Amino acid sequence: MSNEKRFSKKKIIFIIALFFLLLTCIRFGWIMYHQVPNHPQAKEGVVDLSEWSFKDNQTITLDGEWSFYPDQLISPNGIIAGDDNRTISVPRSWENELNKETQHTYGKGTYHLKVILPNKHQQLYGIRIKNVTTAANVYINGILYKEFNEVGLNNSGKPMERGPFSTFFQPEGNELDIVIQVSNYEIPFFGGITNSIQIGTGQAIQSEEGFSTTLQIVVSVIYLLHFMYVIILYFIGNKKYKKELICYGLMLLLASLTILIDDNIVVQLPIDVESSFKLLLLIMVSTLYVMLLFVKHLFQLQARSFKVLTAGFIIIVAGELLVPFEHFLYLGFFVLLYYVIAIGFMFNHTIRAVQQGYPDGIFILLLITSYTSNAIWGAGIKFGSLDIGYYPFDFIISIVVVAILLFKRHFRLVKLADEQNKQLQIEDQRKDEFLANTSHELRNPLHAILNITQVLLDKNKDTLSDENEERLLLQLRIGQQMTHTLNDLIDATRLKEQRIQLKKESHSLFNLASGTMNMVHFMIQEKNVQFEMDIPSSFPNVVVDEIRFVQILFNLLHNAIKYTDEGTITISAEQKGDLAWIHIKDTGIGISSDLQQRIFQPYEQASTSNHSSGGIGLGLSICKQLVELHGGEIYVSSVVGKGSTFSFSLPITKADSTRNIEKVELLENTKDLLETTQKNAESLNPPSGNILIVDDDPINLKLLQALLEDDYNIHAVTNAKEALENIHLRPWDLVISDVMMPNMSGYELTEKIREQFEISELPILLLTARNQIEDISSGFEYGANDYITKPIDSLELKMRVKALVKLKLSIQELLRFEAAWLQAQIQPHFLFNTLNTIASLSEIDTERMIKVLEQFGNYLRKSFHVHNTKSVIPLKDELSLVRSYLYIEKERFGDRLQVEWKVSNEGLDSIKIPPLSIQPLVENAVRHGVLRQRNGGKITIQITKSAGRIHVAIIDNGVGIKKDNIQELLSEHQINMNGVGIPNTNRRLIQLYGEGLTIESEPEIGTKISFHVPR
């Protein structure tokens, strides 16, 4: 809210006044447009229109002095000139002429007017009577043309028509003798002809009537359509705005009903006049009250004055039911006062919200202004005898204002989502950079390590112990493994002798490029360089030798990395005919035009004062020859200081075989797994961890220990039985097991371990002498994470071990962050309820309010503290968070929540437990246990010490849990359904201590959730 634009109070009032003036100008423009032109008025019962030119698009009124016969219903033949009659102004209520002494509106009378028309024979005319109270018979030239309700009778309790009506006639001469018999025994406030009577050609009257009715129907339909989409949003939208939506929907529905049963009375209800009048008033007042509710929920108001307004609404509703209709005018004054107070309330709180920067509050203010304008003019028309036709624009403008509000909110949410998406992408990139920059670049120091090792062996051979000499020889053998440069040298020779044979098959370019990019990703760890993949997964397959294609792309990417200190390296592809052109573009130092001519020749390489090229300059030469062997070509384009682009072509496959499709899918799955493994494995350097090695061959055990003991804590056993006995002695990060062992094979050991640990909780690496698909498949089926074949390649072993250990550590870290995230996702209702509690206490007990504020502050500090991302924290810190949470909840629920602490304060500093392990259990007991009962219940926090262990138990006497639901509560499925609290705590305990939560519960009796941690 604070980020929104704020307005001063003066500016807000100016906007309101300006908008109100705009609405008024539009209404006056509407009135002027429909204003009846100057025309003859009736005098002493006669109006001369002989000189008037009637038009088909215009009507005039028969306003003026009509002859009036009070207390008589005279037929046209009974009217005699000079009879007991008087004149009466039309339109006007007749109480002054009908009952001068009592001023009562009940009674009857006859209106008479003689109209002289132009000399137009066979012209169709019509008259439209907007309102007559409450029954009338219309005679024209002695003929009864219209009966409107039953004249002369008391129709109370009977269904009656309301609103305007028209009649059409074709006079033989140029004179009209209009006689209207009127009676009113139903409405005590006014009677007679209270609105103008229009006359015009038949077409003009029809147009006037149709135009006004159509406007009402259109506006009503617009409101109903908006009501429908609001209802749809209510059922599918965000729960946060449920109350506002339902209030807004009711406003639309009530406003639509008002339009249909008011003014031209589009819908005639089968009820009497009194009921119609009361219903209309009830709907109007209800619309106002629902609008009050809308403002209240929108701004989350807790004002006491709203209770007064609610009481006023109830009084009005009760008054409509109880107050006699004759005295309804007094209720009308109360309704008018209620309107003034309610509208003032809405303006006041909306102005405050706009001042505080509430999003789109100014549009709510314009909506209230539009509603107020319509209410003022409506009151003037109803009670001020203003004869104005139906005006739709206040309603339409209010809808437009709300539509603008909704569109603006939508675009704001879209913009926010886009910004958050970009921020997530940036954070994701930062994460990748962090993982890359913290991993070792293994190839660069290789030669230095080899030289130093050889010097140590040569100079100290006589003084080295056998163990140290063996380790140095092992280190030398590891370093002497085939390197990238050696591969280039061998391949250069083989290419020269034309001894390389390609095994070309159809492969996915996207998968091969992605996999190669992952292979060289470690090379950019210490550089501000990023990869970009611009090859769609749907790109056609290419016909290549998979190994050689990877070699081509590897060399080109390696070259780009070497000469790019910062920027991007992009891999893209395009199809030209039967060829796929692959481009590797970098933002490095570039290549001079002279060097570009010979860059693909052997031993040619760029070299600058700022870049030590390394290598021997064979990579690009080998790339060129391998591309040409595939039937393609390669070239380079470059600008010094801006970067280079290497492009090469390969043939596109014409048809993919089923076998190749399967290989592509397998490669893609493998790529995803390797990418995940690499990211998890490269987070920390070196990756410390506990490894259990199982092998019946002592030599293999010794070799594995020598390779891994510098980076890991190694514990070696010679059989599977010992491994199972040691599996719970400490939290292992990896198990390395030989497959072929006596008594129990590595497969069986894997199966036993999987009965206790999930594949992500304890990784298993199998050592096998066979690399057949059947052996590999068996290992995975039994639950192994990875395998490595004998004889063991030390570099491969270290990388696989590093990846698996980091996989385990990453999952542990994920669980810790998941727990921290859980606490960070404090339920909005908890925040609101706590703030409401503080607000309430501020008025009745400031000392209690201060205590709640202190505990709330401690709760937030503990919830968002960085130690929530650690493995363990002091027990006292966790209990501090729990105490703050329970203090707030007990302040809210009072005696419904009882808390008992069975905790000794001695030695709390030395006890470590996982963060956020007790608080989620306590919160679960409060929310889903004791508070589910009408009278609440009791929660006991119990911490006891035993030999080498700490026992933690959360006990409640709440509603309990069905036995069938206990296991589901601990399952990962529950994480997706109802949160991460209990399942996350259970998984973290298993990860750290090999034992999770224990839940004991009986429905309607209570629940006990407990766990153990070592002292």
- pLDDT, tens digit (0-9, with 9 covering 90-100), for 401-416: 877 877 777 777 778 8
DSSP per position, 39-58: ---BBTTEEE-TT----TT-
| Domain CATH number, residue 349 | 1.20.1070
What does residue 999 show for φ and ψ, rounded to 5 degrees?
-115, 125
The pLDDT assigned to 673 comes to 35
**Total structural domains in the chain?**
5
DSSP string covering 449-488, please? HHHHHHHHHHHSTTTS-HHHHHHHHHHHHHHTS--HHHHH
For residues 867 and 820, give the distance between their C-alpha atoms in angstroms, rounded to a whole number: 9
Q: What is the pLDDT of residue 584?
A: 94
Query: Is the pLDDT higher at 102 or at 1008?
Result: 1008
Angle, CA of 681, 682 and 687, to the nearest 5°: 70
Quick check: helix, strand or coil at residue 12? helix
91 upstream amide cis, omega within 30 of 0: yes
Whichever domain contains 192, its CATH number is 2.60.120.260
Q: Residue 182: pLDDT band by 50, 70, 90 thresholds?
A: very high
Using CA atoms, how far apart are residues 151 and 410, in angstroms rounded to an integer?
A: 57
Regarding whether 233 and 208 lie in a shared domain, the answer is: no
Average pLDDT in the 267-271 region? 86
pLDDT > 70 fraction of the chain, expressed in percent and rounded: 80
Cα–Cα distance measured from residue 784 to residue 732, given in angstroms and rounded to the nearest whole number: 15
Q: Which domain holds residue 866?
A: 824-1014
Q: Is residue 22 part of a domain?
A: no
Residue 734 lies in a domain: yes
DSSP calls for 516-528:
HHHHTGGGGTTSE
Specify whether 857 is located in the same domain as 769.
Answer: no
| 622 and 725 inside one domain | no
- My answer on whether 851 and 996 are in the same domain is yes
Lowest mean pLDDT among 48-62, 289-303, 455-469, 963-977: 963-977
Q: Measure Cα distances from 753 to 463, 721, 744, 762, 789 in Å.
A: 45, 11, 13, 8, 21
Q: What pLDDT digit, counting tens, does each position of 719-754 carry?
A: 889 999 888 778 888 999 988 777 888 888 998 888
Q: How many residues does the chain have?
A: 1015
795-821 pLDDT, tens digit per residue, is 778 888 888 888 777 777 666 665 555
Q: How far apart are CA 534 and CA 587, in angstroms?
A: 16
Residue 864 dihedral angles phi and psi, to the nearest 5°:
-105, 10
633 and 566 in a single domain? The answer is yes
Cα separation, 764 vs 751, in Å, equals 10
What confidence tens digit (pLDDT) does each residue in 598-648 have?
A: 888 776 766 554 454 555 567 788 899 899 999 999 989 998 888 999 999
Residue 678 domain flag: no
Comparing 504 with 775, the larger pLDDT belongs to 504
Peptide bond into 134 cis (omega under 30): yes
Do residues 646 and 520 both lie within one domain?
yes
pLDDT at 177: 92
**Residue-level pLDDT at 65:** 93
Q: Is the pLDDT of residue 518 over 80?
A: no
Residue of 522, 430, 996, 523 lying closest to 756 (CA atoms): 996
- pLDDT, residue 627, reads 92
Q: Sign of dihedral through CA atoms 296, 301, 305, 310?
A: positive
At 977 the pLDDT is 39
* pLDDT tens profile 954-994: 999 988 888 878 777 776 544 443 444 688 788 778 777 77
- Distances in Å between the Cα of 23 and the Cα atoms of 18, 71, 252, 309, 658 are 9, 44, 20, 27, 72
pLDDT at 1004 over 60: yes
What's the pLDDT band for 657 if we cut at 50, 70, 90? very low
Find residue 938's DSSP bridge partners: 898
pLDDT digits (tens, 9 = 90+) for 902-959: 887 776 667 888 888 888 888 888 888 888 888 889 999 998 887 778 889 999 998 8
CATH number at residue 774: 3.40.50.2300
Kindly state the average pLDDT of the residues 355-366.
83
Does 858 map to a domain? yes
Task: Kindly state whether residues 875 and 984 are assigned to the same domain.
Answer: yes
Phi, psi of 51 (to 5 degrees): -95, 0
Pair 219, 299 in one domain: yes
Give, in order, the Cα–Cα distances in Å from 751 to each of 74, 164, 192, 744, 843: 109, 88, 98, 11, 65
**pLDDT score for 127:** 94
Tokens standing for residue 155: 């129709």
Please name the residue that has the structure tokens 């797994």: 673
List pLDDT tens digits, range 441-469.
Answer: 334 345 445 545 655 776 677 787 878 87
Q: What pLDDT is stored for residue 674 in this prediction?
A: 36
Of the residues 744, 770, 804, the one at which a domain ends: 804
Do 913 and 798 reside in the same domain of the chain? no
pLDDT band at residue 147 under the 50/70/90 scheme: very high
DSSP letters along 252-297, please? HHHHHHHHHHSTT-SS--SS-HHHHHHHHHHHHHHHHHHHHHHHHH
327-356 residue pLDDT tens: 888 888 899 899 999 999 999 888 888 888
What is the average pLDDT value for the chain, to the nearest integer? Answer: 79
Number of helices followed by number of strands (H, E) in the chain: 29, 32
776 assigned to some structural domain: yes
pLDDT digits (tens, 9 = 90+) for 471-499: 776 566 555 433 455 556 656 666 766 77
Q: How far apart are CA 133 and CA 98, in angstroms?
A: 13
Higher pLDDT, 573 or 867: 573
| Cβ neighbours for 109, distance < 8 A, ≥ 6 positions apart | 68, 69, 70, 71, 72, 73, 94, 97, 98, 181, 182, 183, 192
- Starting at the edge strand found earlier in the chain, the sheet holding 1006-1014 runs 897-903, 937-946, 949-956, 1006-1014, 998-1002
At residue 519, the pLDDT reads: 64
Mean pLDDT of 517-525: 69
Shared-domain flag, residues 983 and 863: yes
Task: Look at residue 50 and tell me if it is in a domain.
Answer: yes
- Asked whether residue 679 is domain-assigned, the answer is no
Are residues 1000 and 931 both part of a single domain?
yes
Confidence of residue 139 (pLDDT cuts 50, 70, 90): very high
Average pLDDT, integer, range 989-1004: 83
Helix (H) or strand (E) holding 311: helix 305-322
End-to-end CA distance of the chain: 48
Q: How confident is the model at residue 244 (pLDDT cuts 50, 70, 90)?
A: confident
Beta bridge partners of 943: 903, 952
Decide if 19 is inside a domain.
no
DSSP symbol at 1000: E
pLDDT (mean) for 178-199: 90
- Residues 779, 706 share a domain: yes
Is pLDDT above 60 for 2?
no
d(CA 350, CA 365): 6
Q: For position 88, what pLDDT does the model report?
A: 92
Beginning with the edge strand found earlier in the chain, give each strand of the sheet holding 566-576 in spatial order: 528-534, 566-576, 579-586, 643-651, 634-639
Name the DSSP letter for residue 932: G
